[in-house]
Amino acid sequence: MIHSLFLINNAGDIFLEKHWKSVISRSVCDYFFEAQEKAMEPDNVPPVIRTPHHYLINIYRDKIFFVSVIQTEVPPLFVIEFLHRVAEMFQDYFGDCSEVAIKDNVVIVYELLEEMLDNGFPLATESNILKELIKPPTILRSMVNSITGSSNVGETLPTGQLSTVPWRRAGVKYTNNEAYFDVVEEIDAILDKSGTTVFAEIQGVIDACVKLSGMPDLTLSFMNPRLLDDVSFHPCVRFKRWESERVLSFIPPDGNFRLMSYHVNAQNLVAIPVYVRQNISFFESGSSGRLDITLGPKQTMGKTVECVVVTVHMPKVVLNANLTATQGNYTYDPVTKILVWDIGKLNQQKLPNLKGSLSLQSGAPKPEENPSLNIDLKIQQLAISGLKVNRLDMYGEKYKPFKGVKYVTKVFR
């Protein structure tokens, strides 16, 4: 199982180490540094590194390498999932998962790591349970603690640990009982020059923020559950009921959690919310080119398209761009050759247009390929797949909760 963990920053300093079995010398990280050097970029460091006596399995999150040391055959995904859980827990406890935050809270970090693994076996990884065992730091609490001498470690057995709903703590109490669900969809699509979809998929998640007292048993149903054929659920979701009735039935964890994620990749179901007319041409003679891009809304079901940003990776020979935008601002970075056009809201009446000339390196051959365009955008109040929540029912508790569902569609790369 997981033997040791080293946290390493971008500069190659090991700023924290934790061993769950015998102590392994930090020199084992030399193999990691070797791989890091080879990879050039931190993102490209291979996740599994073999050394003569150990395996190093690592993830790169928030500019920190989480490097775990493995001695026996352990499923690598198991380790990677766990490391992500550690990073999330830091984020959850300290507000951000940075070297500074970890160093400032080093004892809590150590206590947390000790609680999360025993002998390399995961022990408590649910945020609900950990927070009962080790209270997150707050300014108020550290003040109160220092006055009253009380501690930030729970004295009783976390109730969730052994119940059949290990993700929920007992005795939750709120004055305002509320449950919010965010349906967030991201489109990933590739269109060719003529605007035909080459590839499109929707990656959706339902994130929940549930603040309900007691042990509420919720049922969430959809208008069109058939859209969802490729799903993965939070452990709280009763899979049997989903299989038979296509409803999500669950006792929720307390607080924020990801209820489910899904994937829609049937091409015909993916509607692209905008269209682009673009013409980028380079002249054979002379060192110039023309650029003309127009964007328009399409299939937005009456919702406004916001935060529209067009990014173009220009060929190396493009020295500068002299353009006019009817809406928004554009910048061209001659070093990275990236043209960014920040449009903002998409106007239905007056379509935004960017037009003008490009100056090229003189004497260089005319670029062969047309540059590709990246478009980022966001649509509030719309799940582009058409997924709609029908109703949310609560059983097991008497009070009336406040319920809300929000939809967002994003296109970001």
Q: By CB under 8 A, what part of segment 195-214 binds another protein?
A: 199, 201, 203
If the CB atoms of residues 241 and 355 are measured against another protein, the closer one turns out to be 241
d(CA 338, CA 310): 10
d(CA 111, CA 137): 12
Which residue in the block uniquely carries the two structure tokens 């501690």? Answer: 151
Edge to edge, what strands does the sheet with 318-325 contain?
274-282, 288-297, 353-360, 318-325
Please select the residue that binds another protein; options are 166, 253, 273, 289, rule is CB under 8 A: 166
Q: What is each CA distance from 27 to 14, 30, 42, 64, 173, in whole angstroms?
A: 10, 5, 20, 18, 49
Name which of residues 216 to 235 contact another protein (CB under 8 A).
Answer: 229-235
Please select the residue that binds another protein; options are 27, 164, 268, 324, rule is CB under 8 A: 164
What is the total count of residues that contact another protein (CB under 8 A)?
Answer: 93
> Which residues neighbour 92 within 8 Å (Cβ) at sequence distance 6 or greater?
127, 136
Nearest-approach distance from CB 13 to another protein, in angstroms: 10
Nearest-approach distance from CB 50 to another protein, in angstroms: 7
Q: Does 151 help bind another protein (rule: CB under 8 A)?
A: yes
Please select the residue that binds another protein; options are 11, 27, 43, 194, rule is CB under 8 A: 43
Nearest-approach distance from CB 195 to another protein, in angstroms: 17
The string over 76-88, giving b where at least 16 C-beta atoms fall within 10 Å of a residue's C-beta and e elsewhere, is eeebbebbeebbe
Name which of residues 73 to 112 contact another protein (CB under 8 A).
Answer: 73-78, 80-82, 84, 103-107, 109-111
If the CB atoms of residues 54 and 300 are measured against another protein, the closer one turns out to be 54
Which residue in the block uniquely carries the two structure tokens 């929000």? Answer: 406
Binding marks (x or -) toward another protein, 260..289, rule CB under 8 A? xx-x-x------------------------
Nearest-approach distance from CB 107 to another protein, in angstroms: 5
Please select the residue that binds another protein; options are 92, 114, 217, 397, rule is CB under 8 A: 114
Please select the residue that binds another protein; options are 27, 140, 149, 324, rule is CB under 8 A: 149
> Which residues neighbour 53 within 8 Å (Cβ) at sequence distance 6 or greater?
71
If the CB atoms of residues 129 and 323 are measured against another protein, the closer one turns out to be 129
Please select the residue that binds another protein; options are 173, 240, 350, 400, rule is CB under 8 A: 240
Please select the residue that binds another protein; options are 4, 8, 18, 291, rule is CB under 8 A: 18
Query: How many C-beta atoms lie closer than 10 Å to residue 330's C-beta?
Result: 18
Binding marks (x or -) toward another protein, 19..38, rule CB under 8 A? xxxxx--x------------
Nearest-approach distance from CB 274 to another protein, in angstroms: 20
Q: Which stretch binds another protein (CB under 8 A): 157-165, 213-221, 276-284, 349-357?
A: 157-165
d(CA 266, CA 385): 10
Nearest-approach distance from CB 403 to another protein, in angstroms: 23
If the CB atoms of residues 257 and 341 are measured against another protein, the closer one turns out to be 257
Q: Does 155 help bind another protein (rule: CB under 8 A)?
A: yes
Tokens for 171, please give them.
């005795």
d(CA 21, CA 286): 69
Name which of residues 292 to 351 contact another protein (CB under 8 A).
Answer: none
- Coil, strand, or helix at residue 106? helix
- Coil, strand, or helix at residue 344? strand
Binding marks (x or -) toward another protein, 45..64, rule CB under 8 A? -xxx-xxxxxx--xxx----
Q: Does 256 help bind another protein (rule: CB under 8 A)?
A: no
| Sequence-distant contacts of 322-326: CB under 8 A, at least 24 apart | 322/356, 322/357, 322/358, 322/359, 323/291, 323/354, 323/355, 323/356, 323/357, 324/354, 324/355, 324/356, 325/352, 325/353, 325/354, 326/350, 326/352, 326/353, 326/354
Q: What is each CA distance from 272 to 292, 298, 315, 371, in whole angstroms?
A: 21, 7, 27, 20
If the CB atoms of residues 131 and 327 are measured against another protein, the closer one turns out to be 131
d(CA 380, CA 182): 11
Q: Rounding to the nearest 10 degrees, give the CA dihedral for residues 138, 143, 148, 149.
A: 70
Name which of residues 368 to 397 contact another protein (CB under 8 A).
Answer: 369
